[in-house]
Structure formats: C-alpha cells, structure tokens
C-alpha cells in the first residue's frame, strides 16, 4: 500500500475494530504453526537468520536449510570464521543467493562491531548488510521484544483488506504504512510483538493473496473487505512472476555447478548448465558483478572467495 493510500487514515483506523489484539492473540494461540525460530529460548541470531531466509521464500523451503544452517553456525562467530562460499553452498536452492553473502557479511559485522552479539536496536540492525526496514523491525520485535511495527506483504495485505476494504495492498511497504500500523499496536511491547506475528500468520495461513479463506477467519465479522462483499481489486492486474527460462533460473543452474565442486571450473563446464550462450553469459556476468562468483587468472570460475584456488587444481 502506498503512503497516499494509508497515511491519512491513521486516526480513522484507530477507531476501527477489525483487528482486535485479543481476538488475534486467541486465534494465534490455537492456529499458529510450530516453527523452530519462534518461542522462548531461541537466540536473536536464529531469529535473524530465519527472517533473512524467509524474505521471498516459503516456510516449507526454509525449514530444512535453516535447521542445517543453525546446527553448523549456531552463532555469528562460526559463520564469520567460514568463507562466503561456505555460506553460498549451505544456502542451497533457497533462491536469491545474494542473501547468503549478505548474511555472511552481517555475521562479520556483528563480530567486529557488536562483540559477536546481534544488536537490539532497529538502527543498529539496519546498519547490518542485507537487513532492511522489515527485517530489522522483525528481529527487534521477535528477538528482543521491542514495540515496533513489523510490516511485510502479509501484514500489509491483511490491513488493506480488514481495515481499508481493499483487495490488495500497494506494491511496496512504505514508512507511512509502518507509521499507520504502529498507531494500532497494543501499548505493551510483548502484546505488540504478539499482535504483529498474529497478523503475519493470518496473512500467511488464512488471508492469502490469491484465495482468502474468509469463512474460517477470526476477524471476518469486522473485516471491511469481507463486509463489502469482497470487491475486486481496482488497480492494475498483477502478473505472476515467471521463473522458467529467466536469467534467475540460469543463475541458479550455474551456481549448482559451482556448488557441486570444491575446485574452480572452466567456462565449458558451465556451458553444460545452459545451452543458450548469450543468456548464460549474461547470467554469469551478473553473478560476477554480485560477488557470488569469481574468475581466477587461468579463466576458470569459482564461488565467492574460491577464485584464489591454486592454479592447476581441479
């Protein structure tokens, strides 16, 4: 939702009751998924890793990678001691692998600037590589109990429907959106964090983008969109994101080759991953530019930090 769509509504939103914290807390207690990065005894590092992995990636795909990652690197020091290539390998096929590099860089920063402890303030969290406005607030709220608005696409969509009567939120979350959501947070930090995770879970499980299950929604009686008869989206149609045949797919194929070998590989080896040489070259250049891949002096390629392998190896 854009600033113009939500910001002027703050005072009016406060008077609306569609998203009552007590109703949401009750629903969350009964319906929430039992995810390993939630609940007591989970470290701030574990929460941070989960939030980075969950950016644009479904929970089911994150779960096994997160578990393996946390077993290998239970704290930032362990990851910082290993190489960026180790992080990219462990990232597996989660997609958007620059997140692995940034998480590795964040671990370094946490060790060098914060004595190895994940910082608690939103400002310090936002200073870490790969940690944006949403992730910083999610870690501050869920790991440290801060009262701060945690607004991802799920939360934005629930707010748009339940409070504004719109089928969808805007294309991105703005500072004005966060300010509007903050105005609706319960006063207590713990209650505010529970409210945030409950709205997020409602958006993930019930109020989904494509097919909201209003019949089993705890807030349906007060939801503005449901009460209005579920009017169609008034804005431009959203195109589903394609993956097959895109440069993203080619990048993934090239990384698969490099993840599967401990030594640098030749351009011919990479050529077997994708036949269209022009697209393959474009994808490879983008991987080099992103720092995910390096080229050594004999022309072979390796994962980040592995380009300095001794010549002749492999």
CB 20 → ligand SF4: shortest distance, Å?
A: 12
Phi then psi for residue 121, to 5 deg, are -85, 150
Residue among 51, 201, 294, 306 flagged as catalytic? 51
Q: How far is CA 301 from the centre of its chain?
A: 29
CA angle 185, 190, 193 (to 5 degrees): 55
Residue in the structure block whose two tokens are 């719109």: 166
Cβ neighbours, 10 Å, residue 214 = 15
Judge whether 51 counts as a catalytic residue: yes
CB 169 → ligand SF4: shortest distance, Å?
A: 12
Q: Judged by CB, which is closer to ligand SF4: 210, or 310?
A: 210
Q: How far apart are CA 212 and CA 131, in angstroms?
A: 30
Among the candidate windows 101-109, 121-129, 217-225, 296-304, which touches ligand SF4 by CB under 6 A?
217-225
Q: Judged by CB, which is closer to ligand SF4: 111, or 162?
A: 162
Question: Which one of 6, 138, 223, 265 is in contact with ligand SF4 (CB under 6 A)?
Answer: 223
Question: Which one of 1, 143, 207, 258 is in contact with ligand SF4 (CB under 6 A)?
Answer: 207
Q: How far apart are CA 60 and CA 67, in angstroms?
A: 12
The verdict on 226 binding ligand SF4 (CB under 6 A) reads yes
Q: How far apart are CA 278 and CA 215, in angstroms?
A: 50
Question: Which one of 158, 185, 192, 204 is in contact with ligand SF4 (CB under 6 A)?
Answer: 158
- Supply 85's token pair: 């290539």
Query: Where on the chain is the footprint of ligand SF4 (CB under 6 A)?
Result: 158, 161-162, 206-207, 212-214, 217, 219-220, 223, 225-226
What residues are labeled active site?
A: 51
């Amino acid at each position: 939702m854009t600033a113009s769509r939500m910001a002027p509504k703050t005072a009016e939103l406060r008077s609306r009751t569609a998203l009552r914290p007590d109703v949401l807390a009750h629903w969350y207690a009964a319906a929430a998924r039992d995810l390993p990065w939630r609940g007591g005894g989970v470290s701030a590092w574990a929460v941070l890793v989960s939030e980075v992995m969950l950016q644009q990636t479904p929970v089911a795909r994150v779960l096994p990678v997160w578990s393996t990652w946390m077993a290998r690197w239970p704290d930032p020091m362990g990851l910082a001691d290993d190489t960026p290539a180790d992080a990219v390998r462990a990232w597996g096929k989660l997609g958007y692998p620059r997140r692995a590099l940034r998480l590795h860089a964040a671990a370094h920063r946490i060790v060098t600037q914060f004595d190895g402890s994940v910082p608690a303030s939103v400002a310090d969290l936002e200073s870490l590589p790969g940690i944006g406005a949403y992730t910083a607030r999610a870690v501050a709220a869920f790991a440290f109990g801060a009262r701060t608005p945690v607004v991802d696409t799920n939360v934005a969509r629930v707010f748009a429907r339940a409070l504004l009567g719109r089928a969808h939120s805007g294309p991105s979350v703005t500072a004005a959106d966060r300010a509007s959501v903050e105005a609706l947070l319960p006063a207590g930090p713990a209650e505010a964090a529970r409210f945030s995770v409950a709205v997020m879970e409602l958006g993930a499980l019930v109020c989904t983008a494509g097919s909201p299950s209003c019949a089993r929604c705890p807030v349906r009686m007060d939801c503005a969109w449901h009460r209005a008869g579920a009017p169609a989206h008034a804005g431009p149609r959203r195109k589903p994101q394609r993956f097959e045949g895109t440069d993203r797919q080619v990048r993934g194929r090239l990384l698969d080759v490099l993840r599967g070998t401990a030594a640098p590989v030749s351009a011919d080896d990479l050529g077997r991953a994708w036949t269209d040489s022009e697209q393959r070259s474009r994808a490879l250049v983008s991987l080099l530019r992103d720092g995910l891949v390096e080229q050594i002096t004999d022309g072979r390629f390796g994962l980040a930090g592995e380009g300095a392998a001794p010549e002749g190896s492999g």
